[in-house]
């Protein structure tokens, strides 16, 4: 086992070791890593053995740049490229579909020139796991990594104290779904709502976010719709457990001094639509972000709806998770005659507060 510095000579020694099928302890921008060339299965198996890591747990890739990552994966979709452009080099590991061999691969581009150049000299990517025993504290200095796992490696590169000090954020990105797997230095907006309509609005405006459906108890103040949505939005945001800035919302339909929330069943959904038929109602949405709440209203006029039209709409939309039993964005033309105010507010997430907070442009 050799100990070298993170200079040109050390870079060359580490590259030769890895290209010969060896194992190296290397500095990264987050914590020290235990590395092997992906083209040497025996070397990768040594990583598992040295770290005492369960073989069912995959080992991520560190790539020299986004192009190298994409070559290894056999391609990336538009969402993955956007995330890579925003956060690489940096402490974000993306778990992405791998066209070559199937399954998923975790990959990132580190924000440390030494590590990127080492990956480049080894063909563009390295298998790297944190240089500590499984379940142990990640090493932020070469001496700590040496004590944990370095004696079993072929070379240890001493690059001083790692600038990051914490393992990367890990997020899975596939088919438009973005899932936080491990919290870390890179924080994403947390949408404290399971509404697919709110998620759609954020995606269409290029916002990267993770979803955490809150379990806050909803309140209702029958004669005060603004207070209702404001307090519910704040409560949902406060209930979020995932770290990061939290965005939450609550939407109700207000008509005849009465709050129309989500119908309990299809019979109630039909009754809601009959009562709103041919009339103007108001949609209130409370939006909360990092403890601040704003309320937006829009007015909606329904068409005159026959029982047949209501039945067709309910069969088509299945509106049990929609306030007022309807969705303006899904076959809304069947029941909505006109509206004033924000279309997105009627969907459940108005853009005006998001622009004020700098979430969307």
- 175-231 pLDDT, tens digit per residue, is 877 888 999 999 999 999 989 999 999 999 989 998 888 778 889 998 999 999 999
Question: Hey, what CATH class is 2-172 in?
Answer: alpha beta
Q: CA-to-CA distance for 90 and 171, rounded, in angstroms?
A: 13
Record the tokens describing residue 350, joined without a space.
């108005």
According to the model, what pLDDT value does residue 356 have?
97
Where does CATH 3.90.950.10 sit in the chain? 187-356
Which of 214-218, 219-223, 294-298, 329-333 is predicted most confidently? 294-298
According to the model, what pLDDT value does residue 79 have?
87
Catalytic residue among 29, 154, 208, 250: 250
According to the model, what pLDDT value does residue 174 have?
85
Q: CA-to-CA distance for 358 and 343, rounded, in angstroms?
A: 19
Catalytic residue list contains 250: yes
Return the biggest CA–CA distance within the chain.
Answer: 82
Burial of 43 (0-12, 13-18, 19+ CB in 10 A): buried
pTM: 0.80
**Closest by Cα among 123, 117, 129 to 93:** 129
Question: Hey, what CATH class is 187-356 in?
Answer: alpha beta
Q: CA-to-CA distance for 197 and 275, rounded, in angstroms?
A: 24
CB 47 within 8 Å of CB 23: yes
Where does CATH 3.90.870.10 sit in the chain? 2-172
Helix axes 266-276, 307-317, angle to 10 degrees: 130
According to the model, what pLDDT value does residue 14 have?
98
Backbone angles phi, psi at 182, to 5 degrees: -150, 130
pLDDT band at residue 253, thresholds of 50, 70 and 90?
very high
Q: CA-to-CA distance for 146 and 164, rounded, in angstroms?
A: 19
Query: Which residues have a Cβ under 8 Å from the Cβ of 177 and sit 6 or more positions away?
Result: none
According to the model, what pLDDT value does residue 100 have?
78
């Amino acid at each position: 086992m050799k100990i070298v510095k993170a200079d040109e000579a050390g870079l060359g020694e580490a590259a030769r070791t890895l290209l010969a099928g060896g194992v190296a302890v290397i500095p990264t921008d987050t914590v020290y890593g235990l590395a092997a060339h992906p083209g040497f299965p025996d070397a990768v198996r040594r990583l598992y053995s040295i770290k005492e890591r369960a073989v069912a747990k995959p080992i991520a890739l560190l790539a020299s740049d986004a192009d190298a990552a994409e070559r290894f994966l056999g391609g990336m979709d538009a969402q993955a490229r956007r995330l890579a452009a925003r956060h690489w080099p940096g402490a974000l590991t993306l778990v992405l579909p791998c066209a070559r061999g199937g399954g998923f691969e975790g990959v990132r581009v580190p924000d440390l020139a030494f590590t990127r150049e080492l990956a480049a000299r080894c063909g563009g990517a390295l298998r790297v796991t944190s240089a500590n025993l499984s379940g142990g504290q990640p090493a932020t200095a070469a001496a700590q990594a040496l004590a944990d796992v370095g004696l079993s490696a072929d070379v240890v590169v001493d690059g001083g104290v790692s600038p990051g000090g914490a393992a990367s954020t890990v997020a899975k990105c596939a088919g438009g779904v973005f899932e936080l797997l491990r919290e870390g230095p890179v924080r994403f907006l947390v949408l404290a709502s399971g509404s697919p309509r709110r998620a759609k609005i954020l995606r269409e405006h290029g916002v990267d976010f993770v979803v955490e459906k809150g379990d806050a108890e909803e309140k209702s103040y029958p004669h005060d719709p603004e207070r209702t949505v404001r307090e519910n939005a704040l409560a949902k945001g406060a209930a979020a457990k995932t770290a990061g800035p939290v965005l939450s919302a609550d939407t109700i339909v207000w008509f005849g001094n009465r709050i129309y929330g989500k119908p309990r069943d299809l019979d109630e959904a039909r009754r809601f639509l009959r009562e709103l038929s041919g009339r103007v109602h108001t949609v209130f949405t409370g939006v909360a972000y990092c403890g601040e709440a704003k309320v937006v209203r829009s007015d909606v006029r329904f068409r005159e709806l026959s029982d047949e039209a209501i039945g067709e709409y309910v069969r088509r939309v299945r509106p049990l998770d929609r306030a007022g039993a309807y969705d303006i964005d899904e076959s809304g033309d069947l029941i909505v005659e006109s509206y004033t105010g924000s279309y997105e507010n009627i969907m459940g997430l108005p853009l005006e507060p998001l622009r004020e907070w700098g979430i969307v442009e």
